[in-house]
A and B are shown apart, each in its own frame.
Chain A
Amino acid sequence: MNAADTAFVLICSALVMFMTPGLGLFYGGMVRSKNVLATIMQSFILVALMSVLWAVAGYTLAFGKDVGGVIGGLDFLFLNGVGMDATGGPVENIPHLAFMIFQCMFAVITPALITGAFAERMKFGGFLVFSALWLFLVYAPMAHWVWGKGWMAEMGALDFAGGAVVHMSSAAAALAATVVLGKRRGYGHAPFIPHNLPMTVLGAAILWFGWFGFNAGSALAADGFAANAFVTTHLAAATAALGWIFMEWRHSGKATTLGAASGAVAGLVAITPAAGFVTAMPALLIGLGGGVFCFLGVLLKNKLGYDDSLDVVGVHGVGGTWGAIATGLFASINKASGLFYGNPSQLWIQLASVAATWAFCFVASLILFKLVDATIGLRASEEEEVRGLDLSQHNETGYQA
């Protein structure tokens, strides 16, 4: 065991924890004022709910001894055998508990990302039940396939910090949510204007800050790969913010703060699978692609007419997919190489993992949404939606008149 590595991973775990309340602010500023608390709550309460479920059973389903490449066994149920030394953990240099809690924070933020798609119309109870089921039946298998020695890892798919596990999975669930829940009332004719963009920009800044823990921490050691991931992460966020605002400048005449914040997040998403496999200059391109493609992805929503309230598909789906493909193009370090470094087969592996992730996560999420909808109900009533979810779901309001 290594003390520096342990300290680093614990601090990174705290950084990643901070991302989820930050995501709550990012989303909270984009909704109308009558839904601000309900939106922030959906992120904040998942820090609590997912952490409990992860410790009890989620961790072992993802990282327990592999069962047929599909799921983890029950060796670590109730954190049994997850202790202060490295025993049973995937790496020798940090306590198994440190690895578990670092992974816990990923399990917290991933379902929170989905909440942007059904913002402003979801019942609180239905949301909690869906999120709990999704952790066990979608997230845990995905984490196992990619990071828990499951079939995607065996196939050789590269996903450094969660392009597939975190971003594509949540975006596929987001798409399923729009199919099952339908549009918000008034969508397409009433204006849906963000009520507090300073809050959104603060949230984006917290996400950017926390993402250093997310990506650099995924090196699981305080070493050169961590430093590389830190740098690639930062540079990709930077070029993506620039790419997005230049695109919208051309498209609608002005650069916006919402565009800068969205672009930074898009770049962070895009670099996530690649952060530990590419060097700094390719990271600039991956970020730029993230900013440009995600902006176009969001425009596509307006054309297709589905109501993904806060653009989970446009940002995390497009960005995660681009990042996974870009990893297959630009990978050059950490025992990986992509198409541009003489290994075209990596690109095919990446494409296969992208297709499998979208297909599995979309279908499984669709079934879960339908199941919860048919039993306890997902969508707030018309009156609840019109009054706002703050009052109708939580008996409180974000702002006094």
Chain B
Amino acid sequence: MKKVEIITRTFKLDDIKAALSEIGIKGMTVSEVKGFGRQGGHKEVYRGAEYQVDFVVKVKIEVVVEDARVADVIGAASKAARTGQVGDGKIFVLPVEEVVRIRTGETGDAAI
């Protein structure tokens, strides 16, 4: 089992959710995160005073899938999220040791 973490532009969330639903992904965890990469921050101006805001707001989508489906998830998510501009984000794939469905006690692939 693998966890796929997609960190990308917030306005792409709905597109990615739709793309993942289409390939049969039944659940995900979404959070709003801040960070920076090549895109860098942006400037904000309040009453004429300029502030450099280093952290850019992004959305993080976490999906846990069987090993065989990782490539499909990456394909669908990156297709939906790509704009071609700096700031499209990153996808991380991490090994998952165990999954437990709390209600039934099922484990492993059956619990995903």
How far apart sit A193 and B55, CA to CA, in the bound complex (Å)?
Answer: 13
Q: B48 contacts which of A191, A192, A299 (Cβ < 8 Å)?
A: A299
**Considering the complex, which residues of chain B in the window 28-87 have a beta carbon less than 8 Å from any beta carbon of chain A?**
44-53
Closest to B43 in A: A252
Inter-chain CA distance A252–B51, complex, in Å, is: 12
Contact code string A238-274 (vs B, CB < 8 Å = 1, else 0) = 0000000000100111101011001000000000000
Q: Flag if B51 contacts A191 (CB, 8 Å).
A: yes
A298 at the interface (CB under 8 A from B): yes
**What is the bound-complex CA distance between A194 and B46, given in angstroms?**
8
Find out whether the CB atom of B49 lies under 8 angstroms from the CB atom of A256.
no
Tell me the minimal C-beta distance from B44 to chain A in angstroms: 6
Contact, CB under 8 Å: B47 / A262: yes
Bound complex: CA A299 to CA B51 (Å): 14
Of all chain A residues, the one with the shortest Cβ separation from B47 is A298
Specify the main secondary structure of chain A where it touches its partner. Answer: helix
Set of chain A residues within 8 Å of B53, measured between Cβ atoms: 191, 193
Contact B47–A193 (Cβ < 8 Å): no
**Contact between A193 and B51 (Cβ–Cβ < 8 Å)?**
yes
Contact B46 A302 (CB under 8 A): no
Contact B52 A252 (CB under 8 A): no
Q: Check if A298 sits within 8 Å of B48, measured CB to CB.
A: yes
Question: Shortest beta-carbon distance, A120 to chain B, in Å?
Answer: 14
Q: Shortest beta-carbon distance, A187 to chain B, in Å? A: 11
Q: Which residue of B lies closest to A194 (CB)?
A: B46
Is B47 in contact with A258, judged by CB distance below 8 angstroms?
A: yes
Inter-chain contact total with CB atoms closer than 8 Å: 34
Chain A hits for B46, CB < 8 A: 193-194, 256, 258
Q: How far is the CA of A293 from the CA of B110 in the complex (A)?
A: 69
Q: Which of B44, B46, B49, B53 has the most CB of A within 10 A?
A: B46
Chain B, residue nearest A253 (CB): B45
With both chains docked as a complex, state the minimum distance between the C-beta of A245 and any C-beta of chain B, in angstroms. 12
Contacts of A302 in B (CB 8 A): 48-49
Tell me the complex Cα distance, A259–B46, Å: 8
Residues on A with C-beta less than 8 A from B45 are: 248, 252-254, 256
Chain A positions within 8 Å of B49 at CB level = 302
> Could you tell me the distance between the alpha carbons of A194 and B51 in the complex, rounded to whole angstroms?
11
Q: Which of B44, B48, B51, B52 contacts A251 (CB 8 A)?
A: B48
**For the complex, what is the distance from the CA of A194 to the CA of B47, rounded to whole Å?**
11
Q: Which residues of B contact A256 (CB under 8 A)?
A: 45-46
Q: Within 8 Å of chain B (Cβ to Cβ): is A277?
A: no
Query: In the complex, what distance in Å separates the CA atom of A230 from the CA atom of B49?
Result: 33
List, in ascending order, chain A residues with CB within 8 A of B48's CB. 248, 251-252, 295, 298-299, 302
A248 contact set on B, CB distance < 8 A = 45, 47-48
Query: Which one of B45, B47, B50, B52 has the highest number of Cβ atoms from chain A below 10 Å of its Cβ?
Result: B47
Q: Does A311 interact with chain B (Cβ within 8 Å)?
A: yes
How far does the alpha carbon of A292 sit from the alpha carbon of B46 in the complex, in Å?
Answer: 16
Residues on the B chain within 8 Å of A251, using CB: 48
A104 and B13 alpha carbons, distance in the complex (Å): 53
Q: What residues on B are CB-neighbors of A295 within 8 Å? A: 47-48
Are the CB atoms of A259 and B47 closer together than 8 Å?
yes
What is the CA–CA distance of A314 and B48 in the complex, to the nearest angstrom? 12
14 more CB-based (< 8 A) A-B contacts, given A192-B51, A311-B47? A191-B51, A191-B52, A191-B53, A193-B46, A193-B53, A248-B47, A252-B48, A253-B45, A256-B46, A258-B46, A259-B47, A262-B47, A295-B48, A302-B48
Which 8 A-B residue pairings sit nearest by Cβ, starting from the closest? A191-B51, A252-B45, A299-B48, A298-B47, A302-B49, A251-B48, A258-B46, A193-B51
Chain A interface residues toward B at CB < 8 A:
191-194, 248, 251-254, 256, 258-259, 262, 295, 298-299, 302, 311, 314
